[in-house]
Amino acid sequence: MDLGSNLRARARVCLQQQEDEEMLVPHQELTEGPQPMEAETVSASENQQVEDPPTLKYRWTIENFSRLNTKKLYSDIFHVVGYKWRVLIFPKGNNVDHLSLYLDVADSATLPYGWSRYAQFSLAVVNQIHGKYTIRKDTQHQFNGRESDWGFTSFMSLSELYDPSRGYLVNDTFVIEAEVTVRKVVDYWSYDSKKETGYVGLKNQGATCYMNSLLQTLYHIPYFRKAVYHMPTTENDMPSGSIPLALQSLFYKLQYSDNSVATKELTKSFGWDTYDSFMQHDVQELNRVLCEKLEDKMKGTVVEGTIQHLFEGHHMNYIECINVDYKSTRKESFYDLQLDVKGCRDVYASFDKYVEVERLEGDNKYQAENHGLQDAKKGVLFIDFPPVLQLQLKRFEYDFMRDTMVKINDRYEFPLQLDLDKDNGKYLSPDADRRVRNLYTLHSVLVHSGGVHGGHYYAFIRPTLSHLWFKFDDEKVTKEDAKKALEEQYGGEEELPQTNPGLNNTTFKFTKYSNAYMLVYIRESDKEKIMCDVDEKDIAEHLRIRLKKEQEEKEHKKKEKAEAHLYTIIKVARNEDLMEQIGKEIFFDLVDHDKVRAFRIQKQLPFNHFKEEVFKEFGIPVQFQRFWLWAKRQNHTYRPNRPLTPQEETQSVGQLREVSNKTHNAELKLFLEVEIGPDLHFLPPPLKTKEEILLFFKLYDPEKEDLKFVGRLFVKSLGKPTEVFSKLIEMAEFPPNEEIDLYEEIKFEPTVMCEHIDKRISFKSSQLEDGDIICYQKSLTSTNRNQFRYPDVPSFLEYVRNRQVVFFRALEKPKEEDFSLELSKLFTYDDVVERVARQLGVDDPSKIRLSSHNCYSQQPKPQPIKYRGVDHLVDMLVHYNQTSDILYYEILDIPLPELQGLKTLKVAFHHAIKEEVVIHIIRLPKNSTVADVINDLKTKVELSRPDAEVRLLEVFYHKIYKIFPPGEKIENINDQYWTLRAEEIPEEEKSLGLHDRLIHVYHFTRDSNQNQMQVQNFGEPFFLVIKEGETLTDIKIRIQKKLQVPDDEFSKWKFAFISLGRPEYLQDSDIVSNRFQRRDIYGAWEQYLGLEHSDTAPKKAYTTNQNRHTFEKPVKIYN
């Protein structure tokens, strides 16, 4: 989820800075601030509601949706309690391949300064065929002048949206719903979890609430926490490189800290980069991976076996023959159990289903050893349950009919006490130890709020198994009653209260999107052992010392911050700093003040006392110190301005800071002038008169391309540069009669200004004053100037200001660095591609195509840079407010300007006789037609006969959606989401009789675990001519011949008439044409002849072009 138009300060920073808070990202366009990030929807209960809030539901119907040519579109304005709102949509995505959807404050431009309003809202894309597949996402936001819109950049994939069979786009009509609740809130930031509950929360790194809810659950299992504390670590370990130490550190802070705890060290120990922290993953997957990793780390230590002891149970898989004495069993272990939610009213019903006996008979008989095929029963029974029972509720499942994941929000009850010995131990195997009482009490409920495409996780936990429940929601911990933790997390539907109870109103029900996702139970007989005491003696001494030191440092910083108003930071720059930095770390101005010695001095201390501190630090006696104040000039340079007067040195440090610093920050910047004689002894500072100015000198060597600081001089303002030439030549160690040229370094922002100094006029006439910088070099003749890349100071400084090392990667290998080039930010488009072509040995630079880098996703931007589409290199590298140093290249087979004038289509040609599919890239002018594509294709393929006719089809998810008319323009044909298939038109289709029908034939299969009515298509769809009165037997003969399927395999195939995804199986004697009589159907894909058989064919490479949904990355812990 990502959210608003101009990021607030906390979301304006780079990803790696997002340690301490969840990053919620506003709607951004290419020209406005950082790229939106996919984060998570947040819980609606983060703010305390003060009164019943007003709510409004708005429905927006958009016709001719696929023909919209605008980048973004606003709905009409609607009102909620006098506030004006509207929906903002990006039909083709906001620089992503997903639909982008936001809620916008319609009158934000005219509202008074400082306005804000808080709203909880949901946005939905309505499924017009199956309402239950409507995609809904909800969140909340404090809208204001900088964040007047908020929503989801990656709401749903465009491939799903534009697939007509999915039901989101019907008759080119698109429907959006918005439900907006305007709320009043109390201050969230003033809430103190530790004070209110005794517990602290975990900070969200971006999309890590799923991890936070799991970590809190594990932490509140004391036996687990104690085992983590006892894992061997040493004082030399670093938390970011050691999972045990990072987890110990995290648990210690949860136990003893007063504030919410960051998880950055832990995720670093997992080997995660920042991007991993912004990927929302699955709690169950993380739980398994983390436990496996800890189990491995515990091997060979005093806590080896803890994970197994706590969480491991065993069940027995059995197959028992009915008619012969044969039984096969297999013992398996589990750390958690996945329980079905769909079709089950509660946990017991799920366990009943888990141990349900399956009959193996008929075609599905069991091959028993030495007994052949036998009728049998198959099932699972439990040998033992673990002390801590983790139940994963299957709230998400794959819907084969829709080819998508869906969330099951059905009501599902779970008890406070769970008795797994019920009904005389019906869940237990004969080998189970009946002496163990499997009575469990509920410890924690992990909740998912939201839909399949995103949501928020939090946990309800009973830390001591008392009647007290607490809600752990990222940083916030609150006391909750048992009803909220149990009944309100059952899911299902909830009725809205009637507005007029006396009238016979129709009740309105809505689905509850917050429901339990994982349950943790603790066995009563193990409760005392599991819920043990954990105190400081369980924590290794080195860990206590380390963490206490960290805490002390934190307290020290906090104290410093609290006392900051009593102190001034004095930063002292010396000649040594200028020598060290100029030409290495900096080239412009004189010094980086963040890298000089800083003193923290009490404001009331007299400045003369501070000079004693300087003596202690640098060994320079007080009488030889003279300090200069720095000043920021109008041209944004920073130079020593004037020395402190004797009177000023008698003042306090605080008074002096106020004199010098108009910005009122806590810093005082000084330059320490020290004079050293020929014998290297300190000298008193020379008398400074108004006629003298202090200048700083840098020396440039064009041969070495080197700039360095060589010293400073007092010069007479009315004197001429020639009067100090001998001194400058000596400082440069040049021969005595060397000619030199002088330049004044004036400024470097936004462009470099460095001007030649006329040596014949006075310093004053050249407008030089205290603190100015003069760069000088040997004089060059017009002949020897050509020997150097940057012959003079201005050209060198221009080069330094704009130089940029760019790392190039081949587009097809976006993670692998190929080569780097040092370029100038001022290089034109032509300059850049010419250098790249030269590097790659390509004769024609116009055959180089470049793509920019997305700083947030760390991937190439989807749209390449157009030919001369940017002016300079810097435009290629800027990504919102970030600057990248990566570009991607492609080597084209034709020049880019020519390619841009063409439409490129990827066409899969299916040969009429041979079993082969060949991909052809067709390039034609954009105003060409489908007929032109076919004619071009005919020159590239082998036809079965010279006069064969060819057609172009649109295929998506193994169904045919369209036969392209020959006259259709190709400019709007999209082969990114659909597969374009070309094939010869069979002769039988050219001469259809009056009663002949051309029907769609698709392959399908059903998963045995899925509902009988759900089908999954695969393979190559095709057309078939059926004649009136033709039976299925007749048609089967033709299909077998067409597909060349062997008899033994074909005999297993089943045939069905399928309408709206529901199969009706056909008998051999059925008249097939009777089924295909409707002509008012929504689309050809709604009715087809289905061929049911197993999908054994290898996947063809070209199907990758269908851009099936990309799912979230799997959880990985690398260390």
- pLDDT per residue as tens digits for the range 969-1003: 888 787 666 788 899 888 888 888 887 888 899 99
pLDDT at 472: 92
**Sign for the pseudo-dihedral over CA of 840, 843, 849, 852:** positive
Query: Taking 60 as the threshold, does the pLDDT of residue 46 lie above it?
Result: no
pLDDT at 189: 54
pLDDT at 190: 67
Taking residue 188's Cβ as centre, other Cβ atoms within 10 Å add up to 12
Question: Is 547 strand, coil or helix?
Answer: helix
Q: How many helices (H) and strands (E) does the chain have?
A: 28, 58
**Containing H/E element for 313?**
strand 313-321
Interval 905-916: pLDDT, tens: 888 898 877 777
Query: Taking 60 as the threshold, does the pLDDT of residue 85 lie above it?
Result: yes
**How would residue 675 be classed by pLDDT, with cut points 50, 70 and 90?**
very high
pLDDT at 1063: 84
CA distance 772 to 963: 76
Residue 621 token pair: 């006696």
CB 278 within 8 A of CB 37: yes
Residue 208 token pair: 């890590």
CB proximity list for 784: less than 8 A, separation 6 or greater: none
Percent of the chain at pLDDT exceeding 90:
39
**How would residue 1113 be classed by pLDDT, with cut points 50, 70 and 90?**
very low
| Main-chain dihedrals φ then ψ at residue 195, nearest 5 degrees | -65, -40
CB 573 within 8 A of CB 672: yes
Interval 821-862: pLDDT, tens: 999 998 999 999 999 999 999 999 999 999 999 887 788 888
DSSP per-residue string spanning 60-97 = EEESSGGG---S-EE---EEETTEEEEEEEETT-SSSS
More confident residue, 709 or 553: 709
- Read off the pLDDT of each residue in 496-513 and give the average, rounded to a whole number: 55
Residue 1118 token pair: 């690398």
Residues serving a catalytic function are 209, 456
Inter-axis angle of helices 209-219 and 283-298, to 10 degrees?
Answer: 50
Interval 565-624: pLDDT, tens: 888 899 999 999 999 999 988 999 999 999 999 999 988 999 999 999 999 999 999 999
| Main-chain dihedrals φ then ψ at residue 372, nearest 5 degrees | 70, -160
Taking residue 544's Cβ as centre, other Cβ atoms within 10 Å add up to 14
Q: Among candidates 394, 349, 356, 456, which has minimal Cα distance to 44?
A: 456
Residue 921 token pair: 């890239």
Strand partners, 444: 461, 520
pLDDT at 66: 82
CA distance 887 to 852: 5
Residue 934 token pair: 């076919």
Query: Taking 70 as the threshold, does the pLDDT of residue 28 lie above it?
Result: no
Residue 875 token pair: 């435009």
Average the pLDDT over each of 185-194, 225-234, 242-251, 593-602 and give the range with the smallest value: 185-194
pLDDT at 37: 30
Q: Among candidates 1022, 947, 1027, which has minimal Cα distance to 983?
A: 1022
Place of tokens 């987890």: 247
CA distance 844 to 860: 23
CA distance 525 to 496: 43
**How would residue 272 be classed by pLDDT, with cut points 50, 70 and 90?**
low
- Read off the pLDDT of each residue in 1043-1068 and give the average, rounded to a whole number: 87
Residue 198 token pair: 């005794």
Query: Taking 80 as the threshold, does the pLDDT of residue 511 lie above it?
Result: no
DSSP per-residue string spanning 488-515 = GGS-SEEEPPPSSTTS-PPP-EEE--EE
CA distance 989 to 976: 29
DSSP per-residue string spanning 843-892 = S-GGGEEEE-EETTTTEE-SSPPPTT-SSBHHHHHEETTEE--EEEEEE-
pLDDT at 505: 52
Q: Among candidates 161, 165, 166, 100, which has minimal Cα distance to 133?
A: 166
Interval 712-727: pLDDT, tens: 999 999 999 999 999 9
| Main-chain dihedrals φ then ψ at residue 314, nearest 5 degrees | -135, 140
Question: How high does pLDDT run on average in the chain?
Answer: 82
Q: Among candidates 338, 349, 334, which has minimal Cα distance to 292?
A: 334
**How would residue 283 be classed by pLDDT, with cut points 50, 70 and 90?**
low
Taking residue 210's Cβ as centre, other Cβ atoms within 10 Å add up to 25
| Main-chain dihedrals φ then ψ at residue 661, nearest 5 degrees | -125, 105
Percent of the chain at pLDDT exceeding 70:
85
User: Per the omega criterion (within 30 degrees of 0), is the bond before 750 cis?
Assistant: yes
Average the pLDDT over each of 229-243, 325-339, 610-624, 1064-1078 and give the range with the smallest value: 229-243
Residue 406 token pair: 């869906």
- Read off the pLDDT of each residue in 130-139 and give the average, rounded to a whole number: 83
CA distance 291 to 247: 12
What is the β-pairing status of strands 626-632 and 1062-1065?
unpaired
What is the separation, in whole angstroms, between the first and last Cα of the chain? 29
CB 35 within 8 A of CB 11: no
**How would residue 1109 be classed by pLDDT, with cut points 50, 70 and 90?**
very low
CB proximity list for 932: less than 8 A, separation 6 or greater: 924, 970
What is the β-pairing status of strands 902-910 and 979-984?
parallel
| Main-chain dihedrals φ then ψ at residue 1022, nearest 5 degrees | -155, 165
